[in-house]
Amino acid sequence: MGEWKEYRLSNICDISAGGDAPNNVVKYPSKGMTVPVFSNGEKDNGLYGYTNSYKIEAPAVTISARGNVGFVCFRKENFVPIVRLITAKANEQIVTNEYLYYCLRNTRIWGDGSVQKQLTVPMISEYVISIPRKNTQNKIVSILKSLDDKIEVNRKINDNLEQQAQALFKSWLKDCEDEVTIGDLSLNITDYTKCEQKQVVLINSSDVTEGRFDHHNLSENKNLKGHFKKRFLKGDILYSQVRPRNRHWGYCTFNADNYLASTQLMVIRNKKEIIPSILLYQYLIDNNVWMDFTLRTETRSGTFPQGNYEDLSAIKVPFDTNVKEISDNLENIYSLIYKNVESSRRLASLRDTLLPKLMSGELKVNKL
């Protein structure tokens, strides 16, 4: 390896486990709630609240220790790690925190998330990684970070576009004189037709977040878990029945012939003679509808509060039969959003291809 040296993580990092949850935690921050706290790999839209617990000074790296095991985040601001989170803070004389972040993203210490159910500080502490000289670290980080920065720019552009879509929709709603229910506008699809393709994409409720599909990974179409059986089409909306406050919904913009959704996801389709799918989607993600459905769901007892289509379909909303102009405007905005999503997906694929080659020294940075 030449310039590369092997180190145990405990010799180059301060590693610690998260503590108890703070008081007054809220899912989405309001004015004055400015202390970020993280429990299992959340990013910038995680929990916020007040706490007397120890704060970790940025920069640092966190790793989810249970649940979605091995989810690695680079923290750019001071934060409070709480339950199910391990923090690694690098000795910058040997390795930068940003290089450590990419190195841990590339590691297999936690397997694929299905075998290793939990990480511990001793387990991570003993792991051995190879590290090059600082100038090589910086070059590797520069390459990978340039791709991540472009993805982040796309995300910010899309956030702005989504705000524009919401503003247009709210303005249109103000002029709506009729009232209908979500059930008047939509259909609940329960298509369990067997998929005959050799490979399929399995979509759980946690795999769709705020409109987007978090992965398109193929799996062999055999010995599948029983809850993966719902079929859906382009234009359908997937909407989680379990804990809707987590905003697990997705809008399908692609051919989904080889996709199977979990039974925890409702497949909602527009009544084409009444409303285009993009406008129905805007209704379903509107705060009033989302919060109404959340309230109906969360007030029920049980380990996993769960609603159903009957709850969602009963929600009343303003409506006007003249939907062409608002739908066309929304289609134009969302076409830009999905172009950026595809761009980010390509950038992420390139980053993930380069990552193991750069971190192993197989790809020399002076040749790039």
pLDDT at 29: 47
Of residues 155 and 246, the one with the higher pLDDT is 155
What is the rounded radius of gyration, in angstroms, for the C-alpha atoms of the chain?
A: 23
Query: Helix H segments across 180-276?
Result: 182-185
Q: Which structure tokens are listed for 58?
A: 């940025």
Q: Which structure tokens are listed for 350?
A: 């390139």
The burial class, CB within 10 Å (0-12 / 13-18 / 19+), for 302 is exposed
Distance (Å, whole) CA 200 – CA 228 = 10
Express each pLDDT in 12-22 by its tens digit. 999 988 765 55
pLDDT at 33: 45
Banded pLDDT at 331 (limits 50, 70, 90): very high
Does residue 32 carry a pLDDT above 70? no
How far is the CA of 61 from the CAs of 82, 98, 150, 353, 366, in angstroms?
14, 8, 21, 22, 27
Mean pLDDT, to the nearest integer, of 133-156? 95
Dihedrals phi, psi of 262, to nearest 5 degrees: -70, 150
Does residue 366 carry a pLDDT above 80? no
Collect all residues with Cβ–Cβ distance below 8 Å to 217 and sequence separation of at least 6. Answer: 201
| DSSP, res 20 | P
Count of other CB atoms within 10 angstroms of residue 43: 11
Q: Rounded to two decimals, what is the model's pTM? A: 0.79
Lowest mean per-residue pLDDT among 137-141, 224-228, 233-237: 224-228
Which residues face 239 on adjacent strands?
Answer: 249, 266
Does residue 37 carry a pLDDT above 70? no
Query: Helix H segments across the chain?
Result: 9-12, 97-106, 121-125, 134-174, 182-185, 277-285, 287-298, 309-313, 324-360
- Beta carbons of 156 and 148 less than 8 angstroms apart: no
- Beta carbons of 117 and 65 less than 8 angstroms apart: no
Torsion sign over Cα 340, 142, 216, 266: negative
pLDDT at 115: 44
Distance (Å, whole) CA 296 – CA 251 = 23
Edge-to-edge strands of the sheet including 80-81?
Answer: 23-26, 47-50, 36-38, 80-81
pLDDT at 303: 63
Banded pLDDT at 223 (limits 50, 70, 90): confident
Q: Strands 23-26 and 36-38, how do they pair? A: unpaired
Q: Which structure tokens are listed for 280?
A: 């129905």
